[in-house]
Amino acid sequence: MKEYFNLDRIMTFCNYIFYFLCINLFCVILNTPIFLFIIFIGIRQVSKYMPLFLLCCIPLPVAFCSSLYCMRKLIKNKDLNVFKDFIIGIKNSFWQSTFVGLIYLFLSFVLYNNIIYSVNNNLNITLIFFFIILWIFILLSSINSFLLISKFSIKTLELLKYSFIITFTKPTLTLSNGFCIIFPIYLFTIYPVQLFFFLFSIISFFIYLVNRHFLKYLEENNYKD
């Protein structure tokens, strides 16, 4: 019993909880525009104000990449310094994650408009489903892109190419990444107060946890950290 109540273990556990809380707080601060949109306009109005909502999402890729970097350090149990780690994550990924994020947001805007136009003009249902599936594919590819940005230094064109290839050829990882985002968000709708303090950290932690072996394989065979 003493092993389970070891003071060092308790302190380590508390440090991890504190790390989770701080990373989530930093992500919330960076994504203030999204929360302002939800508070003053409402999540149900996203479809009506899609361009504005997508603009509010511009800081999201930077926060996501930085939190992924921090979760990598947490899982590897390296020297943890929450503020320093998050700042390094931002510095390492800011420009590329922002640029790649803008590409995905633009593609999302185009596909959304195509879906709305097709529905309003009663176009072929097959075409509508094609746009929806393509949009889902783009969103899932964006997760792989930001995961790679947080781990490697890759030219943007190669990054996008490998992200699409991974999304298409690794369906298990792709679906797992989607689940790692959808399920916590679903729980957030049920327990908003409790999960508000951990949502970003939980999503980033599980996405990196699911992909860690694949990232290690890429590191050993293709890239250097």
What pLDDT is stored for residue 28 in this prediction?
Answer: 92
- Whether residue 22 has pLDDT greater than 80: yes
Q: Is residue 1 part of a domain?
A: no
What pLDDT is stored for residue 4 in this prediction?
Answer: 52
- Whether residue 1 has pLDDT greater than 70: no
Domain residue limits at 192: 7-221
- Whether residue 2 has pLDDT greater than 60: no
Mean pLDDT of 178-188: 90
Q: In degrees to the nearest 10, what's the CA dihedral of 206, 207, 209, 213?
A: 160
What pLDDT is stored for residue 194 in this prediction?
Answer: 76
pTM over 0.75: yes
- Name, of 10-24, 27-41, 98-112, 187-201, the range with top average pLDDT: 98-112
For the stretch 45-60, pLDDT in tens is: 888 899 999 999 999 9
When pLDDT is cut at 50, 70 and 90, the band that residue 177 belongs to is: very high
Q: Is residue 22 part of a domain?
A: yes
Report the 10 Å Cβ neighbour count for 180.
21
Q: Crossing angle for the helix pair 82-120 and 60-76, nearest 10 degrees? A: 130
Is residue 143 packed enough to be buried (19+ CB in 10 Å), middle (13-18) or exposed (0-12)? Answer: buried
User: What's the rounded Cα separation, in Å, for the pair 133 and 137?
Assistant: 6
Q: Is residue 2 part of a domain?
A: no
Residue position matching structure tokens 């790390």? 19
What pLDDT is stored for residue 61 in this prediction?
Answer: 95
- Name, of 11-15, 88-92, 123-127, the range with top average pLDDT: 88-92
What pLDDT is stored for residue 29 in this prediction?
Answer: 93
Domains in the chain: how many in total? 1
Q: Is residue 208 part of a domain?
A: yes
**Residue 88 contacts residue 94 (beta carbons within 8 Å):** no
Q: Is residue 64 part of a domain?
A: yes
Residue at 171: amino acid letter: P
- Name, of 7-21, 74-88, 90-104, the range with top average pLDDT: 90-104
What pLDDT is stored for residue 5 in this prediction?
Answer: 56
